[in-house]
Structure 1
Amino acid sequence: MESNLRVVLTTALAPIAWGANYYVIRHTLPADSPLWGSALRALPAALVLLLVARRLPRGAWWWRSAVLGTLTVGGFFLLVYLAAQMLPSSVAASIMAASPLVLAGFAWLLASERPTARVLAGAVVGILGVLLVVAAGSGAVSGWGIAASASAMAMSSFGFVLAKRWSDDTPVVASTAWQMLFGGVLLTVVAAVAEGAPPALDAKGVAGAAFVSLIGTALAFVVWYDGLRRLSAGTVGVIGLLNPVTGVLLGALVAGEHLTTWQLLGIALVLGGIVVGQQRSGAKARRAAAERARAREPERVAA
C-alpha cells in the first residue's frame, strides 16, 4: 500500500507541472509563435532525456516512437500552446477535466482495462468539482481555445493509452525521450517552414521556456508514463484532475485572481475525487498489473 501511494504521489507531479505550464506559457512566451513555442518545449526536453537514457530505439520502437511523438508531443503541444494563449489559465486547464473518462474509455477499448466503479465515481466527483471551478471563473472564453484544449485532451489520452499498451522492459526515460525527439523534430521543421526564424526571447522568456521544457515536459512526462505502467489508466486519469486545481491556485497566488466559495468547494471536490479514484488494495493492483503483462506478452513476442 505504501509503495502504491508513493507511485500515486510521484505521478501527481505531472498534472501539477502541466497546470503550471498554462500560466507560464501565457505570461512568459510569445503568443504569435505557437509552433516555435511548442518546438522549444519538446526538443530541449528530448535532448536532456536522451543524455540520461543514452540509447536509441530498436525494432518496433522506431515506428511506435513516431506515432506517440505525433500524438502526445507534436499535435498535443501545439494545441495546448494555442489553448494557453486563447483561454484564461484556469479554464484552459479545466477543459482537461474530462480526461479521466476519456482515458479510461480508450484503455477499455485498446488495453482491455475495464474501469472500476471506484475510478468512475472518483472521476464523476472530480469533474463536478471542476465544473464548479470553471463556472465561477472569470475571463474571456474563446471557442477556438476550447476546441484546441478539447482536441489536445482527446489526442493525448489516445496516445497515453497506446504508450501503456506498448510498454515493455524499455526504460521509461528512454521511451519518453524517443517520442519527445520525434515530436520535437516534427515541430521544429514545421515551425521553420510556417513561422520562419525562431522568436527572440528575453530573460523572462528563457526562464519560462526552461521551466516548461525541463519541469513541465521532461520530468512531467517521465513520472506520468511511469504511473501509467504501474497504475490503471483510469486511476492515473483521475490523478490528472490536479491539472485544473493547479491552474486555479496559481491564478490566485500569482496573478491575484479571487477565489470564490464555489471555486473552493470545487477544488475540495476535485481532491476528494482523486482520493476516491485511486484507492484500491495492493493485492488487486498487483493482480491487474500481472494480467496486463500477460496480455502484452504475445505482442512482445511478435515485435
Structure 2
Amino acid sequence: MTGDTLHAGRAQIYFKLVLTTFFWGGTFVAARFAVHEVPPLFAAACRFGIAAAVLLALVARQAQRRGETFPVPRNLREVLALSSLGLTGIFCYNAFFFSGLKLTGAANGSLIVAINPLLTAVLSAWWLRERIRPFQAAGLVVSLMGVGVIVTRGDVGAFRTLSFNHGDLLLLGAPLSWAVYSILGKRAMSTFSPLVATAYAALSGSLLLIPAAALEALGGAGPHRFSLLGWLAILQLALLGTVIGFVWWYEGVKTLGASRAALFVNLVPVFGTLLASLLLGERLGLPLLWGGTLVIAGVFGGTVRLKAG
C-alpha cells in the first residue's frame, strides 16, 4: 500500500469518526423529539428493536459472506456476558437517557453524558485495578465541576437546597451505565467481534425494554403513536446513532486503535449542544456555556494527556 493510499484511507476513517460523533450528538435532539410524542421506554424499545433487527441482519450477511455459521453463544457464561451488555448499555442507559431528556434539554444531556470516558476510567481503576494518572484525575474533577454548573444552573446554593432538575440527575445514570457496559464489554470482546456483541446487546436490551414499555403503558404513561417527525427521530436514533455509528466507530478502532479513536468522543457534546441550539431553539445561557466548557476541557484534557503519557 502506497503512502498516498494509506493517507487517503486514514482521512476517510477520520471523516467517518467525525460524522459518527455528529450522529451521536444528534441523538440528544432526536430523543427530545421522540419523548415529546411517546413515553421514554416505548421510544427506547422502538429504537433498539429496529437497531437489533438491522444489526442481526448485518451479522448474518457477514457470516454468509465468510462461509461461516451464524455466531451464537455456546454456554450459559457467554449468554450471561452478552445479556449483561444489553442490561447495562441498552436497558439501563436508555432508561436514564430517555427519562432524563423528558425533563431537561438536549444541550444539558449531551454535556452531562460527556463524562463517559473519565467515569469509565475511574470504574476501570476500581474494578480492574487499572492505573489512574494525575492528568486523568484532574480531568475528572474539572468535568464534574462542569456537570455541577450545568445541573445547578450556576447556582451553588442549589447544593444546599437540593433544587436540581430531576432530568439532569437522571441523565447522570446514563454515563454510569455506559461505564459498566464498557468494562463488561472487554470480557465479551474476547469471545465475540464488536459487531456480534453489539447485535446481541441490542437484542437482549430490546427484550428488556419491551416489557418495561408495556408496564409503562399500563401505568397510564400516555399515547404510543408517532407522527412523521417522531418516526424520523426514531430512525435517526436506530439507524444513524446506533447501527451506522457503531459500525463506523469500530472501523475507526480497528484502523487507528482504541486510544486514538476515543479522542473523537469529545466532539459529541459539541455537536449535541450546537444541534440543540439550531434545531430546538435551546438558549446557550452563560451557566450552560461555562459548564459545557469545563466538561469538554476536563474530558479532553484527561484523555489526551493520558494517551500522551
TM over 0.5: yes
1:218 maps onto 2:235 in alignment: no
Deviation at 1:191, TM superposition (A): 2.0
Letter aligned with residue 98 of structure 1: I
Q: Radius of gyration: which is bigger?
A: 2
CA distance in structure 2 between the aligned counterparts of 1:283 and 1:26, rounded to whole angstroms: 37
- Equivalent position SS for 2:284: coil
- TM-score, scaled to structure 1: 0.74
Q: Distance in 1 between matches of 2:128 and 2:10?
A: 21
Displacement, 1:52? 0.8
Partner of 1:181: 203
Q: How does 1:122-271 map to 2 (within 5 A)?
A: 122-126=139-143, 143-168=165-190, 170-195=192-217, 199-223=224-248, 230-231=257-258, 236=262, 240-259=265-284
Partner residue, 2:158? none
On the 8 A contact 2:114/2:296 being kept in 1, the answer is no
Question: 2:275 & 2:238 partners in 1: Cα distance?
Answer: 19
What secondary structure is seen at the aligned counterpart in 1 of 2:172?
Answer: helix
In the alignment, the residues of structure 2 paired with residue 283 and residue 121 of structure 1 have an alpha-carbon distance, to the nearest angstrom, of: 15
Cα offset for 1:34?
1.8
CA–CA distance in 1 between the matches of 2:150 and 2:216? 37
Moved more, 86-95 or 39-48: 86-95
Please, which runs of 5 or more residues in structure 2 have no aligned partner?
A: 1-6, 61-69, 155-162
Q: TM-score, normalised by structure 2?
A: 0.72
Instruction: Indicate conservation of the 8 Å contact 2:55/2:243, yes or no.
Output: yes
CA distance in 2, matches of 1:29, 1:175: 28
Q: Is 2:142–2:295's contact at 8 Å kept on the other side of the alignment?
A: yes
Say if 2:134 is the partner of 1:91: no
- CA gap of 1:280–1:11, structure 2 versus 1, over 3 A, is farther
Whether the 8 Å contact between 2:48 and 2:205 is mirrored in structure 1 is yes
Query: Cα–Cα, structure 1 residues 14 and 80, in superposed 2: closer, same or farther, change >3 Å?
Result: farther
The separation in 1 between residues aligned to 2:11 and 2:124, in whole angstroms, is 22
Name the % identity.
26
Unpaired runs of 5+ residues, structure 1, are 285-303
Q: Distance in 1 between matches of 2:143 and 2:307?
A: 23
Compared CA separation, residues 122 and 9, structure 1 to 2 (3 A): farther
Which residue type is aligned with residue 40 of structure 2?
Answer: P
